[in-house]
């Protein structure tokens, strides 16, 4: 498995909670970026991709014809077969039925729509400008265009959100008949406008207990509607799990192209610079992209793999862990397993370990214990 991630960093406006590598859209910068990106892609080593993901930013600030051409270039460059999952993230107010037909014609078979909420007040609080009616229109148009899988992103613990409005958003997503939902708790990142808001008015934000209640509502509503939870934040109808994301959680390899993009190859994780000018200069000149890299070895590499596997529904397989890292999971992690099991956070069976329902609410803490573990 090899995933290809391509970062398209321009957005029509900047959301107040966003910490991604992104810039306001300007046509000249976007064109220059696309040229640099294509140079970087051409300079990459030969490989066969099992999935391609165009994320951002807002990829559909580019014309549909540019997205179609980029997808075709990536498919040809990385020998992606017909069966490869090819996803594009989109903002629902910037895409028309004709655009989706162009995407589908280029081989896009999965759409990930940044909806966040179906409540207009919450959508505006999040700095977004679309309407629920536009989302419904995009889902219907994606179906008509023949795009196989349609996914929505939703956010909970938004200031001003109520348990009832969150439930209503989940139900609205289910009623649209989408195949996949990603439900994320709002994270307030340092340096964002939301961080400054929380400093001024901490009570506007959810505490952990109230946020856990909303997460539980997501599990209940989505599972009742026929979605399987296959990762902490991801829910799919049968046959619609994202293989691109599954590859990350299985600690598979991926190439990342574009400013701020991450790659993982041969045990080495590298991240491109978030300095747009530095990226453009290097990529256009065919030079190595500045950034950081680290080689994970021993306990750190194993801990990272456990963290990723525990986020999934199937959890850690002892046999696969032994195969890959040469370690017996139970003996290696014995010093921390007892407490996690006693606290009701981790379930240990004969063949593997996974988070309990309670453990899923505090997944970052449980996973952190494995990442930090040093024998």
Residue 185 interacts with ligand SF4 (CB under 6 A): yes or no:
no
Taking the least distance from each CB to ligand SF4, the nearer of 58 and 149 is 58
Taking the least distance from each CB to ligand SF4, the nearer of 18 and 29 is 18
Q: Which of residues 105-134 bind ligand SF4 (CB under 6 A)?
A: 114
- Are 74 and 206 a contacting pair, CB within 8 Å? no
- Please select the residue that binds ligand SF4; options are 18, 140, 219, 271, rule is CB under 6 A: 18
Residue 20 interacts with ligand SF4 (CB under 6 A): yes or no:
yes
| 52-60, 131-139, 181-189, 317-325 -> range binding ligand SF4 (CB under 6 A) | 52-60
Taking the least distance from each CB to ligand SF4, the nearer of 20 and 325 is 20
Residue 371 interacts with ligand SF4 (CB under 6 A): yes or no:
no
DSSP per residue over 252-304, as a string? -EEEEESTT-EEEETTEEEEE-S-HHHHHHHHHTTPPPPEEEEE--HHHHHHH
Q: 142-155 b/e with 16+ CB inside 10 Å = b?
A: beebebbbbbbbbb
Q: Exposed (0-12), middle (13-18) or buried (19+): which is 12, by Cβ within 10 Å? A: middle
Q: What is the DSSP letter of 251?
A: T
Residue 7 interacts with ligand SF4 (CB under 6 A): yes or no:
no
| 56-64, 149-157, 268-276, 364-372 -> range binding ligand SF4 (CB under 6 A) | 56-64
Residue 22 interacts with ligand SF4 (CB under 6 A): yes or no:
yes
As a whole number of angstroms, the distance between CA 321 and CA 306 comes to: 8
Residue 184 interacts with ligand SF4 (CB under 6 A): yes or no:
no
- Are 120 and 126 a contacting pair, CB within 8 Å? no
Residue 11 interacts with ligand SF4 (CB under 6 A): yes or no:
yes
Q: How far is the CB of 22 from ligand SF4 (least distance, A)?
A: 4
- Please select the residue that binds ligand SF4; options are 37, 41, 49, 56, rule is CB under 6 A: 56
Taking the least distance from each CB to ligand SF4, the nearer of 68 and 92 is 92
CA distances from residue 248 to 173, 256, 276 in whole angstroms, order as listed: 25, 12, 25
Taking the least distance from each CB to ligand SF4, the nearer of 135 and 316 is 135
As a whole number of angstroms, the distance between CA 375 and CA 373 comes to: 6
Residue 14 interacts with ligand SF4 (CB under 6 A): yes or no:
yes
Q: SS3 of 163, please? A: helix
Q: Exposed (0-12), middle (13-18) or buried (19+): which is 350, by Cβ within 10 Å? A: exposed
Q: How far is the CB of 314 from ligand SF4 (least distance, A)?
A: 30
Q: How far is the CB of 57 from ligand SF4 (least distance, A)?
A: 5
Q: What is the DSSP letter of 227?
A: P
Residue 155 interacts with ligand SF4 (CB under 6 A): yes or no:
no
Residues at the site binding ligand SF4, with contacts judged by CB under 6 A:
11, 14-15, 18, 20, 22, 56-58, 91, 114
């Amino acid at each position: 498995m090899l995933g290809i991630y391509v970062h398209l960093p321009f957005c029509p406006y900047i959301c107040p909670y966003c910490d991604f590598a992104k810039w306001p859209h300007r046509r000249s910068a976007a064109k220059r970026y696309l040229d640099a990106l294509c140079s970087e892609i051409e300079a990459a080593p030969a490989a066969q991709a099992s999935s391609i993901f165009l994320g951002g930013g807002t990829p559909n600030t580019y014309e549909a014809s540019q997205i179609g051409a980029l997808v075709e270039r990536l498919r040809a460059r990385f020998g992606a077969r017909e069966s490869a999952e090819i996803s594009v993230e989109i903002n629902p107010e910037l895409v028309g039925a004709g655009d989706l037909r162009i995407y589908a014609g280029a081989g896009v078979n999965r759409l990930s729509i940044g909806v966040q909420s179906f409540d207009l007040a919450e959508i505006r609080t999040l700095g977004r400008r679309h309407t629920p009616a536009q989302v419904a229109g995009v889902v219907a148009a994606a179906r008509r265009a023949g795009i196989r899988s349609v996914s929505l992103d939703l956010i909970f613990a938004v200031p001003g959100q109520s348990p009832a409005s969150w439930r209503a958003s989940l139900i609205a997503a289910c009623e649209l008949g989408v195949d996949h939902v990603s439900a994320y708790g709002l994270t307030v990142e340092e340096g964002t406008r939301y961080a400054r808001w929380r400093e001024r008015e901490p009570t506007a934000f959810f505490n952990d207990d109230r946020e856990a209640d909303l997460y539980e509502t997501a599990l209940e509503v989505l599972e009742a509607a026929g979605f399987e939870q296959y990762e902490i934040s991801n829910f799919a109808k049968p046959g619609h799990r994202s293989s691109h994301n599954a590859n990350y959680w299985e600690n598979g390899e991926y190439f990342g192209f574009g400013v701020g993009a991450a790659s993982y190859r041969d045990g080495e994780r590298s991240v491109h610079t978030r300095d747009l000018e530095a990226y453009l200069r290097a990529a256009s000149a065919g030079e190595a992209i500045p950034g950081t890299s680290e080689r994970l070895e021993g306990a750190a590499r194993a801990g990272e793999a456990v963290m990723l596997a525990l986020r999934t529904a199937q959890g850690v397989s002892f046999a696969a862990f032994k195969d890959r890292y040469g370690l017996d999971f139970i003996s290696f992690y014995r010093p921390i397993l007892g407490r996690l099991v006693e606290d009701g956070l981790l379930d240990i069976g004969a063949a593997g370990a996974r988070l309990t329902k309670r453990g899923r609410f505090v997944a970052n803490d449980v996973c952190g214990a494995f990442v930090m573990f040093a024998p």
